[in-house]
């Protein structure tokens, strides 16, 4: 049931300086989106490699200390103490230094151009063995960096999984580790590799054809289903249901899949054989690791499945949603805090980006560059002119903390002149007017 608490509108009024004009309708090519995703992954790997060097140094010091203790034990008594065998690790390099590997998994219908129809966030916490799955309504409204407000699922049609990942990362304020996409037919092939699943179907599901004919597709009860039937159940749209009412079926399939992975060590090998061609992802090892971790969490009763807190905009099957911001913050605090970017301070990081150079999709490039700093893009649009010579970074407080945020933005973008506006605003903390000097 949708929550109807009041929330702050995302399309809030822009600051007085350089007010935005209408959103450009030209959409950047998919290659730009994929390259942005690859640059994000590359920068993330570089940060983790730097962190890994620190960890290696710490372990080196610890190893010397442990060797000294071992020598004392060996010299001080006749008993021999057998060291435990090291546990082999299957953690892929992409997430080896991540405190909470978190990936996006999107499902799309390859026979239409609707976009992503199912979106989920998969997060594993190696420290305590817990796991989290967040079911995200694809109809949730989000600010697509550089493009404006869209339903989240539409971003997949425009920029594939990398743009969906960037948009969801910005919406939730998280540092995500990649995205994977699988079609409805892909789910059928994947589940066929493990001979389907046994599902507990709680209710009868009926298909209504265009001519009004009703066909019963699923009866209630515990039943083994082959791959195509499980995929049909996963993506089934019953007449009259809204998206939130369909999500419990997604949860049942995911939990049954994780149960199978936990019970059968060969199941993941079967799914990812031949590099899992039905799954479109640049890093299948990272997805495999997260699924394996979630299966262990499920077996240990350490898995939580949540639905992203949203409130309805409209009604019926095609209702859109907005996030309930305070409840989303609570969800992130409780289950996804380790996926928040590390920031140097708590000063305001709500960003407005205005396109002042006329380059299509420049907002996405700015968002990608600012992602490591944990900034939230709450509004994008066009500046009053596309002939802005230099990028302007405008803050609305002259406090040392807010000026430090502006300097951080300047460093991440590599360009920009910092200004302090005398016109206070409450919607954003910083406005970036992107000039001809970017990138």
pLDDT at position 146: 61
Q: Give the mean pLDDT of the chain.
A: 78
Angle between helices 400-413 and 362-370 (to 10 degrees): 120
What whole-number distance in Å separates Cα of residue 155 and Cα of residue 165?
A: 9
Phi, psi for residue 425 in degrees, rounded to 5: -135, 155
CB atoms within 10 A of CB 262: 17
The H or E element that residue 258 is part of is helix 243-263
- The ranges of the chain annotated as CATH 3.40.630.190 are 92-339
350-434 is classed CATH 3.30.70.2390: yes
Give the 3-state secondary structure of 204-240. Answer: CEEEECCCCCEEEEECCEEEEECHHHHHHHHHCCCCC
Do residues 3 and 324 lie in contact, with contact meaning Cβ atoms separated by under 8 Å?
A: yes
Superfamily of domain 92-339: LCP protein (3.40.630.190)
Phi, psi for residue 49 in degrees, rounded to 5: -65, -40
Do residues 244 and 317 lie in contact, with contact meaning Cβ atoms separated by under 8 Å?
A: no
Contacts of 204 (CB under 8 A, 6+ apart): 216, 218, 219, 220
Extract the tokens encoding 97. Answer: 């230094």
The H or E element that residue 37 is part of is helix 30-76
99-158 pLDDT, tens digit per residue, is 899 999 999 887 766 688 899 999 999 989 999 999 999 999 987 766 677 888 888 877
What whole-number distance in Å separates Cα of residue 161 and Cα of residue 142?
A: 15
Neighbouring C-alpha atoms within 13 Å toward the C-beta of 91: 15
351 forms bridges with which residues in the sheet? 377, 430
Q: How far is CA 8 from CA 11, 13, 15, 150, 219, in A?
A: 9, 11, 16, 17, 42
Percent of the chain at pLDDT > 70 equals 74
Comparing 122-136, 160-174, 338-352, which segment has the lowest mean pLDDT? 338-352
Higher per-residue pLDDT: 348 or 361: 361
Contacts of 146 (CB under 8 A, 6+ apart): 28, 353, 355, 360, 361, 362, 363, 364, 365, 366, 367, 380
What whole-number distance in Å separates Cα of residue 124 and Cα of residue 176?
A: 12
Comparing 118-122, 203-207, 418-422, which segment has the lowest mean pLDDT? 418-422
What whole-number distance in Å separates Cα of residue 182 and Cα of residue 188?
A: 10
What whole-number distance in Å separates Cα of residue 249 and Cα of residue 378?
A: 32
For the chain, how far is it from start to end, CA to CA, in angstroms?
45
- Is the pLDDT confidence value at 177 over 70? yes
Lay out the sheet containing 350-355: strands in order across: 376-382, 350-355, 430-434, 392-395, 417-420
- The ranges of the chain annotated as CATH 3.30.70.2390 are 350-434
Q: DSSP string of 86-142?
A: PPP----GGGTT-SS-EEEEEEE-TTSSS-EEEEEEEEEETTTTEEEEEEE-TTBEE
Q: How far is CA 373 from CA 41, 124, 334, 340, in A?
A: 15, 22, 21, 10
Higher per-residue pLDDT: 377 or 388: 388
What whole-number distance in Å separates Cα of residue 49 and Cα of residue 259?
A: 33
Residue of 408, 403, 435, 434 lying closest to 419 (CA atoms): 403
Give the 3-state secondary structure of 291-339. Answer: HHHHHHHHHCCCEEEEECCEEEECCCCCCEEEECHHHHHHHHHHHHHHH
**Chain centre distance of CA 324:** 17
182 forms bridges with which residues in the sheet? 107, 279
Phi, psi for residue 381 in degrees, rounded to 5: 175, -165
CB atoms within 10 A of CB 310: 24
314-338 pLDDT, tens digit per residue, is 766 678 899 998 999 999 999 998 8
What whole-number distance in Å separates Cα of residue 336 and Cα of residue 124?
A: 9
- Is the pLDDT confidence value at 25 over 70? no
73-111 pLDDT, tens digit per residue, is 343 444 333 333 333 346 777 677 788 999 999 998 877
32-54 pLDDT, tens digit per residue, is 444 544 444 454 445 444 444 43
Higher per-residue pLDDT: 318 or 301: 301
Q: Is the link from the previous residue into 439 a cis peptide, with omega within 30 of 0?
A: yes
């Amino acid at each position: 049931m949708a929550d109807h608490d009041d929330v702050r509108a995302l399309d809030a009024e822009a600051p007085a300086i350089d007010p935005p004009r209408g959103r450009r309708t030209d959409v950047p090519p998919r290659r730009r989106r994929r390259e942005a995703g690859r640059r994000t992954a590359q920068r993330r790997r570089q940060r983790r490699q730097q962190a890994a060097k620190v960890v290696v140094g710490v372990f080196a010091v610890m190893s010397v200390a442990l060797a000294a203790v071992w020598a004392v034990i060996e010299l001080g008594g006749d008993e021999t103490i057998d060291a435990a065998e090291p546990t082999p690790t299957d953690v892929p390099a992409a997430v080896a230094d991540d405190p909470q590997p978190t990936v996006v998994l999107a499902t799309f219908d390859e026979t239409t151009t609707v976009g992503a129809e199912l979106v989920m966030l998969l997060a594993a916490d190696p420290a305590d063995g817990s796991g989290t799955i967040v079911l995200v309504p694809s109809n949730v409204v989000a600010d697509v960096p550089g493009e404006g407000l869209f339903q989240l699922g539409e971003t997949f049609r425009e920029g594939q999984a990398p743009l969906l990942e960037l948009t969801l990362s910005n919406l939730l304020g998280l540092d995500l580790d990649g995205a994977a996409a699988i079609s409805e037919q892909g789910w059928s092939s994947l589940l066929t590799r493990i001979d389907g699943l046994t599902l507990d179907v709680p209710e009868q599901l009926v298909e209504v054809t265009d001519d009004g004919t009703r066909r019963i597709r699923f009866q209630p009860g515990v039943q083994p289903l082959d791959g195509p039937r499980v995929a049909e159940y996963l993506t089934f749209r019953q007449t009259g249901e809204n998206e939130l009412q369909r999500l419990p079926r997604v949860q049942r399939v995911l939990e049954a899949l994780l149960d199978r992975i936990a019970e059968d060590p060969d199941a993941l090998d079967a799914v990812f054989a031949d590099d899992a061609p039905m799954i479109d992802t640049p890093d299948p090892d990272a997805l495999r690791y997260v699924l394996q971790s979630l299966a262990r969490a499920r077996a240990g009763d350490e898995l939580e499945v949540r639905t992203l807190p949203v409130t309805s905009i409209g009604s019926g099957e095609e209702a859109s949603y907005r996030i309930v911001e305070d409840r989303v913050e609570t969800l992130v605090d409780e289950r996804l805090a380790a996926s928040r970017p590390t920031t140097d301070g708590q000063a305001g990081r709500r960003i407005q980006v205005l396109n002042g150079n006329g380059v299509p999709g420049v907002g996405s490039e700015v968002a990608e560059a600012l992602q490591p700093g944990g900034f939230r893009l709450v509004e994008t649009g066009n500046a009053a002119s596309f002939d802005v010579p230099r990028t302007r970074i405008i803050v609305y407080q002259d406090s040392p903390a807010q000026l430090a945020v502006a300097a951080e933005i300047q460093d991440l973008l590599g360009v920009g002149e910092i200004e302090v506006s005398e016109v206070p605003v409450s919607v954003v903390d910083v406005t970036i007017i992107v000039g001809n000097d970017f990138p």
